[in-house]
A and B are shown apart, each in its own frame.
Chain A
């Protein structure tokens, strides 16, 4: 099935169980005069199997929010609930337990891998983390082969190689193979396609949709490209200056935007059937 056919089916997720939600989540950097509110009292509900996009410009707070969702930084205020219960990541052990449920793919595949670890050991780590430590060698190899074939890579060609011997697109796919092995409840993808070209982008989007469809994963997709968000997501959250200014079904938000910011984001994307109006931007602004 082509990417679009899977993406097209707009489902209603409101009746599905909650996977990750937030109430008044806030992150403040600095204090006094230098106080910056990066994320400002945001509320959200992400349901099981939902493909959610968080869209905003550079500096809108997308990545700060994603770090809080991943438990890599603490919220200054507010609460994050995982599967309906308040999330507890107060110590290292609990954090590790939480990371079995949420995993991430980042923008730069080149800095996502430990340069000193071979690809086999990267994948073996994932199996061990999922409690597969006592499996036989053959079973582990079979699992790794399956994960690699899920992302159109050949495991036999990757053994004994280091991550830096792969291309950017291959590395990004290897990241997806890791996710396939870990099978977390939630996948947080922070601009996973911004460093790959338009052709590889389609492949990666297809794989993310496969993860959602085959494993029932919730995918949180962070991007500045509203065209991409429209194409792939069920629900879109638009973020401006740390706040969600608009959210809803992708069709509603993109085709009938209500917030002025959403309208501007849409008008800033070059299109092929509509005139691209360059007069809306002012070069004098410090942006």
Chain B
């Protein structure tokens, strides 16, 4: 009898353990842990899940520095299979120079934002991380307190990095007067203009010098459309092109619907109320009705497939950079592309903060993290190792100093996501002068009058969500010319007002005024 009762107890105990586990399972959709499970779990009290490995090297050049391990989160298009081998090679250099090792945590770009939010919220060990204005938002996460201010660290440990970029680049990174991230220096300019397939310019003897403004393209498209009897000649997705041609209309975007006219940079305007946008809408409506634009534009997410098939004869881009025509050729199924710029090179906050490295606010070794950033941005061997992998294994070197990537070598990272790209090798087939031209165009570019101003969205986040909801209803149709602005724009504007557009504009204006006062303008 006793044995049997014990048996039942045992089953019940097993069931009890199982219950705890079920708490881990939680509901199937969210996979969340319940607090009961958290409290009953053995607590080790350690803060970091990944303990730093003790130094294994013997004598090092920097004997006075104690060995540390830095954790660096990066966003890449894929996680390279050979990452551990490259990490070992990186650590060899870093160990020798600053007695530090680095753990490279590569996350796919699509998952990066979510992953970083979790990592930061959980207080996991983290020293360096990639940030930008289009993924894992720089301003938003700074306001959450995720980053450390870097001004002093930069001056003390990385003076060469400070000098390697023009002052306006640093201005662009400032939030409330402080630098919170080091830009990965690359093209920081934008230049807007048409991208046209060369084949058709030659065939129809198109005179691109007549193109002075956006609507001028109509005449050229008419010729090609008639001559080729093509289904469409201008490739567009549901975003339309206004986002790429603000500068063509002498406007600059601040955030969402808030723009400034460069003739009066102190005044914030609602873009949907401007005559410039109306002009764009009328132009694309005309083109759409004449059949220049692909008919499915309003529902199309991406035009890359049209480009790949070589069907995008005309297009508009805001990143006409030195050497970009070669990249455009690859994108457009191997067709030669010609740039017809409509604006000068310009630069603004949004063209600069597209790729940066920040130091975590809870980093245990911020000094060493900055030393490491300094190395990445100044040590060419280290940078090339990170960007291209190990020589002989992932790339081979040519006699002229350029390199040839070995296909499917198991290592590929985007050089612009790591550090100063001007320290990198030239890849075979690319113009070696591009780097110099890019640097020059960076230095000559006209900085925006509101360089460094960043709109903090928190006070009007509800209005922004409402405005976005209204926009997603009307904007794709108007952006692509699918619906007529005469019938719909007034209604759209009224709904935007209802959604709180005026409140957003007022808030941006308030922040801009404060920022200008602080700048002494």
| B is a partner of A | no
Residue numbers of A with Cβ under 8 A of B are: none
Residue numbers of B with Cβ under 8 A of A are: none
